[in-house]
Structure 1
Amino acid sequence: MPRSSLPKGVHRVRRKTVEGFRYHFYAWRGGPKFWTDTVREPRDPKFLIAFADAIKARHSADYMTPQMVDDFLDSTAMPKAERTQADYKKWALRFADEFVDDPAKLWENPKSRGELNEWRAKWKNSPKQHDYAGTVAVRILNWARDEGKIAAHYCDRLHRIYSVDRAEIVWTEADQKAFKDAAPSWVKRVMTLACETGLRPADLVRLTRGNLESFDGIDRFRVRTQKRGRVAHIPVTPELRQLIDETPADQLVLLVNDRSKPLRPTSASRAITRYRDRIADKLSDPTLRLQDTRGTAATRLLRAGLGLNQIANHMGWSLRYAAAVIEHYAAVSPAESAEVLDLLKREKQRREDKTVNAIVNVPDGAKRGES
């Protein structure tokens, strides 16, 4: 039976249940559900009666939660990063499916906060998923409020149950050596590139020779980071130069797997985890992961004499974020922690003094706004 045989405007969704596949029928996309069946094209006369009853009540106030979700997914409020977009879509559709029969005006009721908390409690045994469900739902509701789709909502600042403090978890030089002694060459390259650049996995796997440029006689990578959209300028260290020179001329990206295929961000992270587990007893922390190399890179650069502004520039961070990351990852060891924190304190003081001097040296006329 062709799709066009359904009444015009009917929106059909197939969902898998323990009993098998079921079809849910909505009066319109984002509208109320009026029928559920095991067949794709219902022929029961009651189907048409139910549809007619559903569309009778349609008016401008019947803006349903699934329609609000669809509008959000089609809006410019969606995050730009491809991976984040996929995550948002997954959780947004789960949110829409849970509240499929509820109008968007539900969220203008204070009691809706409890309903949202009850929904995300399904993932209470997975704190990260529990919190992410709330994050996406609130993002949708904030957008709907800003766009005038709803007058208000009561779901801001939901409680979070996931917390992690990795301030003491950094790939030390000993950790890196132990890892590289146990890992194959293609995984070693992932570790080297991560520790030398401080880039996230999504940016690491995109690096090519095309990102290289020369500035004032210094080779560097120029990368626009996916998460923040900042331009990072990363100097080519001797370790990076060796990695680049060892890359086959016909290989487009710098990182490939054991079959010479480009890596995905998740594949790069899993590779580090897989070989880390084989030498967990030799590491300073058995939970070390690829993302922990970012702090390693930041503290290395500070010890090398780079200022916060330089670190922030070539990592694609704000100054405040660069300082926070360095403080977060400073504790490589008690001695190195004190050294790094002292360097960071002096760098902050230098910047504060520079700002004060700039204010003091402003001409009196300029301070008063005189021309």
Structure 2
Amino acid sequence: MVKADLTGIHRYKKTLSGGLVRYYYKVSREKGAPVFWTRDHAPEPEPVSKAFIAAYHDKRADWFVNPIAESDTIAHLIRRVRITPEFQKLARATRAYYEEAFPHILEEFGEDEIAAFEDKAMRKDVKDWRNNWRATPRQADKMLGSLIYILNFAIDEGEITQHVISKIKRLHKSDRSYIIWEKEDIEAFKSDAPNHLKWVIDLATMTGLRREDLVTIPANADKDSHLEWRTHKSGRRLTIIVPIIGELRTLLNDIADHKGRQKIKSTTLLCNSRGKPWTGMGLSASFRKQASKHGIEKTMHDMRGTAVTHFKLAGLEDDEIADIVGWKKADVEKIIKLYIDKETVLRAIIHRVEKERQTNKNCKPAVNRRISIIKDE
């Protein structure tokens, strides 16, 4: 151990996953100053080691010769990402996803050099940081994914050739493709739900629409035989078409009657408790709150599987259902096999065919029609 003049060193500590305390030493308190030493559990004992002094002088000398420009930092990279046309064109929910993570990235890595993420040593630091959210795997993956997003931007801009965190494994592992809302779940949710939430769950389970589509259906989308409206997705202008089958017509009439009686003039088909259009985040929050009251841990997305069973019982063929919900036919078949017995399906088809024959003898059974939900403009 030796004494040395190490004036200006900036020491700080962070508590990592599992409660590990790590001490960091920067060559200066100046913005962008690099870390030259770390130590776990306790500060570096004094007098400091020769290795500590050598690391300090080497890093300080290198920093003075090649100082980190502000434009080379993660903080500056995030500012540039935010103003790109590509980021601005992302769906509002997707931008919010990244924006939630950016402050945490700035706090941890904001002053770090972008090029540092080409160094294998950075991989462990990123994993330790990510593991602060180990108890909530989805959140942990959001943080990691957002950091990867901005580093991929740096690669596209030619500022780095690669980064070492792209292959870090995600913590959240879940296959929800075969989870649906069953009858008991829906009845419990609706037992004390207000009308504006009942409409959401009914419309979702009858159409298979995603949350982003549910909140944007215009009030004038009802075309008698189908719902139809134009929207933007991933920078493309699309027309969405949803067939009105079975109880969906009754639901749409009920919504229209209620809005008429209450003089609600919402520009969207669905509206919140104030008669205003839902926001995606607002709908999710209200939906989760109502579901949690009844111990239901299923998500809005899980209702798409319920819609598959609804379409099947209405007499549609598997490939038609796949077209509507945007799934592979094999996934549709899996849902049907899990939740609907063959006899029920056959009886539903027979009932529907007989009903159509009685109302229109010249009409071909709807089970033979081809339906497409989305058309590119």
- Which residue of the other structure, out of 138, 142, 147, is the alignment partner of 1:137? 147
Aligned match of 1:335: 341
1:131 and 1:162 in contact (8 A); partners too: yes
CA distance in 2, matches of 1:302, 1:333: 11
The offset of 1:211, in angstroms, is 2.8
- Which residue of the other structure, out of 91, 94, 117, is the alignment partner of 1:84? 94
1:128 aligns with 2:134: no
Aligned match of 1:67: 76
* TM-score normalised over the length of structure 1: 0.64
CA distance in 2, matches of 1:299, 1:326: 9
CA distance in 2, matches of 1:271, 1:235: 27
- Which residue of the other structure, out of 112, 124, 146, is the alignment partner of 1:102? 112
1:233 and 1:313 in contact (8 A); partners too: no
The offset of 1:128, in angstroms, is 0.7
The offset of 1:336, in angstroms, is 6.5
The offset of 1:234, in angstroms, is 0.5
- Which residue of the other structure, out of 153, 156, 173, is the alignment partner of 2:183? 173
Inter-CA distance 116–254: structure 2 relative to 1 (3 Å threshold): same
Partner of 2:306, secondary structure, is helix
Aligned match of 2:277: 262
Mapping 1:145-160, distance limit 5 Å: 145-160=155-170
Deviation by residue 1:260-309 (Cα, 9 ceiling, x = unmatched): 333333333344444444545xxxxx323322111111233245444565
Greater Cα offset, 247-256 or 64-73:
247-256
Aligned match of 1:241: 249
- Which residue of the other structure, out of 201, 205, 215, is the alignment partner of 2:215? 205
- Which residue of the other structure, out of 300, 306, 315, is the alignment partner of 1:290? 300
Aligned match of 2:51: none
Inter-CA distance 261–164: structure 2 relative to 1 (3 Å threshold): same
CA distance in 2, matches of 1:60, 1:271: 45
1:326 aligns with 2:332: yes
Inter-CA distance 95–306: structure 2 relative to 1 (3 Å threshold): same
The offset of 1:94, in angstroms, is 2.2
CA distance in 2, matches of 1:299, 1:94: 42
The offset of 1:85, in angstroms, is 0.3
CA distance in 1, matches of 2:143, 2:70: 27
1:197 and 1:234 in contact (8 A); partners too: yes
Inter-CA distance 251–138: structure 2 relative to 1 (3 Å threshold): closer
CA distance in 1, matches of 2:71, 2:90: 30
Partner of 2:242, secondary structure, is strand
The offset of 1:207, in angstroms, is 1.4
Greater Cα offset, 326-335 or 80-89:
326-335
Deviation by residue 1:301-341 (Cα, 9 ceiling, x = unmatched): 245444565445444x3xxx44365366446547379979x
Aligned match of 1:358: none
2:137 and 2:172 in contact (8 A); partners too: yes
RMSD: 3.6
Partner of 2:220, secondary structure, is helix
Aligned match of 1:219: 226
1:163 aligns with 2:173: yes
Moved over 4 A (4+): 54-62, 225-231, 277-280, 327-332, 336-340
CA distance in 1, matches of 2:272, 2:220: 20
2:215 and 2:280 in contact (8 A); partners too: yes
CA distance in 2, matches of 1:243, 1:173: 17
Identity %: 25
Deviation by residue 1:186-243 (Cα, 9 ceiling, x = unmatched): 22111111111211222212212333447xxx33333537579664311123433223
Partner of 1:220, secondary structure, is strand
CA distance in 1, matches of 2:119, 2:284: 43
CA distance in 2, matches of 1:198, 1:227: 19
* TM-score normalised over the length of structure 2: 0.63
Consecutive unaligned residues of structure 1, counting only runs of 5 or more, are 1-25, 35-53, 281-285, 341-371
Deviation by residue 1:107-163 (Cα, 9 ceiling, x = unmatched): 121222222112211111111111111111112212211220112211122111112
Inter-CA distance 303–68: structure 2 relative to 1 (3 Å threshold): same
1:199 and 1:294 in contact (8 A); partners too: yes
Consecutive unaligned residues of structure 2, counting only runs of 5 or more, are 1-28, 35-62, 347-377
